[in-house]
Amino acid sequence: MSLFDHSLRELQQKLTAKEISVTDLVDTSYRRIAEVDDKVSAFLILDEARARAAAKQLDDAIATDKSMLFGLPIGIKDNIVTKDLKTTCASKILDGFEPIYDATVMHKLDDAQAITIGKLNMDEFAMGSSNETSAFGVTKNPWNTAYVPGGSSGGSAAAVAAGEVLCSLGSDTGGSIRQPASYCGVVGLKPTYGRVSRFGLIAFASSLDQIGPLTRTVADNAHVLEVISGHCTADATSANVPVPAFSEALTGDVRGLRIAVPAEYMGEGVDDAVKQSVRDALHVLEGLGAIVEEVSLPHSKYALATYYLIASSEASSNLARFDGVRYGYRTENAEDLLDMYLKTRAEGFGEEVKRRLMLGTFALSTGFYDAYYKKAQQVRALIKQDFDEVFSRFDVIIGPTTPTPAFRIGEKIDDPLTMYANDLLTIPVNLAGVPAISVPCGFQAGLPLGLQIIGKHFDEETIYRVADAYEQATGFTKEKPAL
């Protein structure tokens, strides 16, 4: 059996009919990891003993009214805390850290009786667009292992693309679910800010971070979001709104739906093949009865600078807690307390994390706060107003997920400004707090391309409806890499 060949619904039907067992699914996942993860390097740590024990327990139980995730293997990005299972954010400074509690999303997965297979590699503290800043090695793209899988949720996307797990959780601060989903040819959703609890997500930028699912199909993605969504009293930013049955929105009917295409998303810097794949996708949706019109998001050109000021400023505050005192790495060569702080952080953080912490600390410092951080927040409001204006007339916004397909490992790591530009098309979504999904929409030189569908606040249902209709009309999600 291959996890490539079945949807979550199909596997649940097989479990119900006793054609397969939960143990079979867990065996399949670990067998696939043993076969290919030396090439992909998606996993940092496996939780095999607990996973097999949980599978046996579920096989022995009489389950009624099963969740769609009952007994199904799932991978977890390594910035989501897992009780008694090492959580490092792919950073030396947290090497060996075992949390004493679970994130809210982990409680929800446990309630749904999903099986955690292990923790997935990522850019250090989610700072990066290629998975090359991890302190524990680079994850490779399953479609071509000489190329990056994207970041920061590169391990989460690569594990699904490689068929190691059925689904995974990632986090998205400026595109960190959608960009690797695009590069690896899978489906990745960033929910509306507040839809999924951030409690237990180790913070990068608190006003931007969101946990979301990565899957092979749109329907599978909707099922996972149903499980992990919901209000959480432990998270002050969690929205107390109803959780719809997202999977019921997959009607395939997009007739009369109004689609906006921002001119800025199809302009300079976007690869010609990427533009053509989006045009082809829009023709497909028009053929299904949707109405397509070009619009403008005029302040999107300021999004990149705005994002890096806000995100780095919030990171400088959030990462101050990693000081060697309470948990994680501590230098062995300190002369006094201050020296311990300085050396621990200098030795424990990687170059990209240090770069952003320095930028953020500068932007928040006396004399520069108003000129940089405050101004960035004012521009953020203008970016959100652009989205609000377009959504007053349209149902969704569509464009590319990334300006180019995946690039070679090592090609851009020494050029941070070029690396930052990879998130040019995803960052505005996080600044506005709206939901967006990336679905596969073609290939260039054997590497996947992604279509980004952006929706109104708390309207993931319409996003899923459009994404599913496109998926069913094209079939790109059925393609799989030949590892």
Which residues have a catalytic role annotated?
A: 77, 152, 176
Question: DSSP 3-state assignment of 16?
Answer: helix
CB atoms within 10 A of CB 461: 18
- Show Cβ contacts of residue 352 under 8 Å, excluding neighbours closer than 6 positions: 123, 124, 127, 128, 133, 416
- Amino acid of residue 469: A
Q: How is residue 320 written in tokens?
A: 């101050």
CA distances from 254 to 260, 287, 288, 325, 468 (A): 14, 10, 6, 55, 10
Specify the DSSP class assigned to residue 454: E
Neighbouring-strand partners of residue 192: none
- Show Cβ contacts of residue 432 under 8 Å, excluding neighbours closer than 6 positions: 383, 384, 386, 387
**Burial class of residue 21, CB neighbours in 10 A (0-12, 13-18, 19+):** middle
Give DSSP secondary structure letters for 70-114.
Answer: TT-EEEEETTB-BTTB---TT-GGGTT---SS--HHHHHHHHTT-
Q: How, if at all, do strands 436-444 and 447-454 pair? A: antiparallel
**Chain centre to alpha carbon of residue 69:** 19
- Amino acid of residue 318: N
**Residue 73 backbone phi and psi in degrees, to 5:** -70, 135
Specify the DSSP class assigned to residue 215: E
> What span, in angstroms and rounded, lies between the C-alpha atoms of 163 and 31?
10
Q: Smallest Cα–Cα separation from 434: which of 260, 257, 316, 285? A: 260
